[in-house]
């Protein structure tokens, strides 16, 4: 499949796939094909230990350990539809970006009330909470997933495992110069454990 078919069907696509745009053409192609434009500022991400990270961020909670699967900006009223991760420096050892690719038939058949019916509060620091279900069917895109255990104001033990049972996990190792675009509504993602790869640098951009 081509880059654009993978993005639409699988929920993510990589820079080395057929018909992938150049980094310079990505913005124009995303606007033309998907109606998305860059939103927010471009962030430069580097692995941080819990002690070095800003308080209450995912790095402060998980440090260099594996992150939980999550939606970026899950506490925003309208999270960005997509995020791109451009690897500036890959580090010394493999660090993967794991993507939970859903089986939409399994999602449709799922009967877990806590995923489809319970209205959860997502809250980032002192901002107002956003209330929503984890799996919500939207007329224009089908099922949308919103999940981040670090932003849920109430205990959510077992939810990540339930979500993982509804799909498969693909692991992408970005090398320097590679990039990846992820559908933030149709997949969940996480960074694997960072060992000695503290030199890893990734540029992240949101599209909405
Ligand atoms: Fe993320």
Q: What is the DSSP string of 173-194?
A: EPPTT-EEEEETTTEEEEE---
pLDDT at 197 over 80: no
Q: CA–CA separation, 112 vs 98, rounded Å?
A: 24
**Distance of CA 110 from the midpoint of ligand 1 (Å):** 25
**Distance of CA 75 from the midpoint of ligand 1 (Å):** 13
Give 53-70 pLDDT, tens digit per residue. Answer: 888 788 899 999 999 999
Q: CA–CA separation, 72 vs 186, rounded Å?
A: 12
Q: Tell me the CA end-to-end span of the chain in Å, nearest whole number.
A: 24
% of the chain exceeding 90 in pLDDT: 79
pLDDT at 196 over 80: no
pLDDT at 110 over 80: yes
**Distance of CA 58 from the midpoint of ligand 1 (Å):** 9
Instruction: Specify the CATH number for the domain of residue 44.
Output: 3.60.130.10
Using alpha carbons only, how large is the chain's radius of gyration in Å?
17
**Distance of CA 149 from the midpoint of ligand 1 (Å):** 12
**Distance of CA 168 from the midpoint of ligand 1 (Å):** 18
Total domains present in the chain: 1
% of the chain exceeding 70 in pLDDT: 100
Which residue in the block uniquely carries the two structure tokens 């109606």? 35
What is the extent of the structural domain holding 176?
Answer: 3-207
pLDDT, position 58: 87
DSSP 8-class letter at 195: S
**Distance of CA 121 from the midpoint of ligand 1 (Å):** 19
Confidence of residue 205 (pLDDT cuts 50, 70, 90): very high
Q: Which pair of tokens denotes residue 148? A: 């981040």
Give 69-90 pLDDT, tens digit per residue. Answer: 999 999 999 999 999 999 999 8
């Amino acid at each position: 499949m081509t880059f654009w078919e993978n993005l639409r069907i699988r929920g993510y696509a990589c820079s080395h796939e057929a018909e992938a745009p150049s980094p310079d053409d990505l913005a124009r192609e995303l606007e033309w094909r998907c109606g998305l434009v860059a939103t927010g500022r471009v962030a430069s991400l580097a692995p941080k230990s819990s002690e070095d990270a800003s308080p209450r961020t995912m790095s402060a909670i998980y440090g260099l350990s594996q992150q939980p699967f999550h939606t970026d900006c899950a506490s925003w009223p309208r999270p960005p539809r997509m995020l791109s991760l451009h690897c500036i420096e890959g580090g010394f050892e493999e660090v993967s970006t794991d993507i939970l690719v859903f089986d939409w038939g399994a999602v449709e058949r799922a009967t877990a009330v806590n995923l489809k019916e319970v209205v959860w509060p997502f809250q980032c620091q002192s901002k107002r909470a956003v209330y929503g279900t984890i799996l919500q069917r939207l007329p224009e895109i089908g099922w949308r997933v919103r999940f981040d255990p670090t932003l849920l104001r109430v205990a959510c033990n077992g939810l990540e495992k339930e979500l993982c049972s509804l799909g498969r996990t693909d692991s992408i190792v970005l090398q320097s110069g590679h990039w990846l675009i992820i559908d933030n509504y149709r997949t969940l993602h996480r960074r694997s454990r960072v060992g000695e790869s503290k030199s890893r640098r990734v540029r992240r951009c949101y599209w909405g």
